Amino acid sequence: MDIEQTKGMKQILDVYGMLEKYVSIDEGIRELDRKAIKDIRDEFERIDSIRLVNQAKVLSAMREEGLAENHFSGTTGYGYGDAGREITDRIFARVFGSEDALVRVQLVSGTHALTTCLRAVLRPGDTVMSVTGRPYDTLEEVLGIRGDAPGSLREFGVEYLQVNLRDGRVDLAGVKEKMTPSVKLIFIQRSTGYDWRQALSIADIDNTISYIKGLKNDLYFMVDNCYGEFLEEREPTAVGADIAAGSLIKNPGGGIALTGGYIVGKKELIGRAAAVLTAPGLGKECGATLGITRSFLQGLFLAPHVVAEAIKGAVYASRIFQSLGFEVSPEYGDRRSDIIQSIKFNSKEQLLSFCRGIQKGAPVDSFVTPYPWDMPGYGHQVVMAAGAFIQGSSIELSADAPIREPYYGYLQGGLTWDHLRLGVLITLQQMKEEGHIVLE
């Protein structure tokens, strides 16, 4: 071994000593960290390649549209003639490979954006078919398949059909068997949600849409794109999805957007979604931006990098928890299409210990203890660990889980890979001290 290699190893070994001033980590956990870093190095190169392509795509969209300083001036009141709002829509449409976009501060969450899409497309007597099994918990009341929330689609005469996944992929034979003349919308959830499966890849979505179009051509395809933006080189609307939506406090906001959501897709459907969000006849022509346009666009510009950092952290967490004997999904070498890392815990207490550790590793509210609670929109109690600069921002380091068996924990986000690494190390230390992991 030459002198330069020896110096390099010395620097790596010394980092734990320098960290000791700020974070106390046992030697056994340090060894797990060393091994994980070594194992995942090749994955980082692949992630960086996708990041570069997506960064070029975003940069190109902003250059092609002629983004300028004057577009950052906000409007109030009705927001008529807001050039910044209009160019934001055009930039998002370019980035997502769609005809049009609706990017609004008035979309309060991913669930709100998805609900707006559903109401834009569906009419009384129509049927929506979910081909990825039961949707994420917060959409159950929207669809009317749980509870009796006022304003559900079921209340307006929209029926619901479901085809469960088979071996983690869309059951195309099952779709064919259940297809009826009233099916108007095919719903596809890209991410794992509160399930134990890998996210659907863009190739999976492309294949699903192509197959179903061969069965029935008078329907629309909608994708819940939450947590999946910038994981691959293409987005669902570039492979045939008619409409897709997500939240700006997840991937595409880059940790900068303070609130908001987006909808992308066919021009006709975006027009209908705008009419649902505002009112028929008003559509996209109003909606004050209140000075938030700069954060939307700066967040979008940073998003490819921030998402890559979050994926690196997810790969690291997968490897380190797997080495401790936990079941994980995806495994560290698997291809990913969302930022979520699922970990199976052996008990409720072990899961809660994990969440306490993630909270302890947060920059905000690190002193808070997360407890399960009856969160609006969920069918079970949910525990959420999230010490974020933006409330509920799941592109920042966070973890959540429904309190039900089997006890799956869902880790996501991390504005920087270094923070997620530190957060996991702090979590492991917490779990060790509470007796929920044992190191050999």
Query: Are 109 and 226 part of one and the same domain?
Result: yes
Q: Is position 314 within any domain?
A: yes
pLDDT of 384 above 50: yes
Strand, coil or helix: 342: strand
Query: Are 210 and 248 part of one and the same domain?
Result: yes
Query: Are 34 and 172 part of one and the same domain?
Result: no
CATH number of the structural domain spanning residue 190:
3.40.640.10
Measured CA distances, 126 to 121, 142, 156, 159, 278 (Å): 9, 15, 10, 6, 23
Q: Is position 65 within any domain?
A: no
Average pLDDT of span 340-358: 97
Cα 416 versus chain centre, distance: 16
Q: Is position 31 within any domain?
A: yes
Minimum mean pLDDT range among 2-6, 34-38, 106-110: 2-6
DSSP alpha helix (H) spans, 26-153? 27-39, 41-65, 83-96, 110-121, 137-143
pLDDT of 173 above 50: yes
Query: Which of 233, 260, 291 corresponds to the end of one domain?
Result: 291
Query: Are 93 and 148 part of one and the same domain?
Result: yes
Query: Are 141 and 265 part of one and the same domain?
Result: yes
Task: Supply the pLDDT for residue 1.
Answer: 43
Average pLDDT of span 54-59: 98
Strand, coil or helix: 166: strand
Contact between residue 127 and residue 180 where contact means Cβ atoms under 8 Å apart: yes
Task: Supply the pLDDT for residue 187.
Answer: 98
Extract the tokens encoding 419.
């923070």
Instruction: Tell me the pLDDT band of 11, cut-offs 50, 70 and 90.
Output: low
Q: Is position 217 within any domain?
A: yes
Query: Are 365 and 216 part of one and the same domain?
Result: no
Q: Are strands 183-189 and 127-130 parallel, antiparallel or unpaired?
A: parallel
pLDDT of 13 above 80: no
Average pLDDT of span 258-267: 98
pLDDT of 438 above 80: yes
Query: Are 48 and 105 part of one and the same domain?
Result: no
Residue 153's contacts (CB-CB under 8 Å, 6 or more residues apart) are 118, 119, 122, 128, 142, 143, 144, 160
Query: Which is more confident, 378 or 323?
Result: 323
Rounded Cα distance, 148 and 137, in Å: 14
Q: How many domains does the chain have?
A: 2
Buried/exposed 114-125: b ≥16 CB within 10 Å, e otherwise:
bbbbbbbbbeee
Q: Is position 181 within any domain?
A: yes
Q: What average pLDDT is seen over the chain?
A: 95
Q: Is position 440 within any domain?
A: no
Query: Are 47 and 82 part of one and the same domain?
Result: no
Task: Supply the pLDDT for residue 3.
Answer: 46
Average pLDDT of span 328-353: 97
Minimum mean pLDDT range among 93-107, 268-282, 379-393: 379-393
Rounded Cα distance, 400 and 384, in Å: 4
In this prediction the pTM is: 0.94
Query: Are 106 and 228 part of one and the same domain?
Result: yes
Kindly report, residue by residue over 178-219, the tens digit of the pLDDT: 999 999 999 999 999 889 999 999 999 999 999 999 999 999
Give just the sign of the alpha carbon dihedral 312, 318, 321, 325: negative
Query: Are 323 and 283 part of one and the same domain?
Result: no
Query: Are 106 and 242 part of one and the same domain?
Result: yes
Q: Is position 297 within any domain?
A: no
pLDDT of 10 above 80: no
Average pLDDT of span 389-400: 96
Domain that holds residue 167: 72-291
Average pLDDT of span 233-237: 98
Task: Supply the pLDDT for residue 133.
Answer: 96
Task: Supply the pLDDT for residue 14.
Answer: 75
Task: Supply the pLDDT for residue 379.
Answer: 78
Task: Supply the pLDDT for residue 158.
Answer: 98
pLDDT of 363 above 80: yes
Q: Is position 145 within any domain?
A: yes
Kindly report, residue by residue over 20-41, the tens digit of the pLDDT: 999 999 999 999 999 999 999 9
Measured CA distances, 368 to 71, 378, 435 (Å): 39, 22, 20
CATH number of the structural domain spanning residue 38:
3.90.1150.60
pLDDT of 172 above 50: yes
Query: Which of 291, 314, 335 corresponds to the end of one domain?
Result: 291
Query: Are 34 and 164 part of one and the same domain?
Result: no
Buried/exposed 201-217: b ≥16 CB within 10 Å, e otherwise:
bbebbbbbbeebeeeee
Query: Which of 232, 267, 291 corresponds to the end of one domain?
Result: 291
Extract the tokens encoding 158.
């929209």
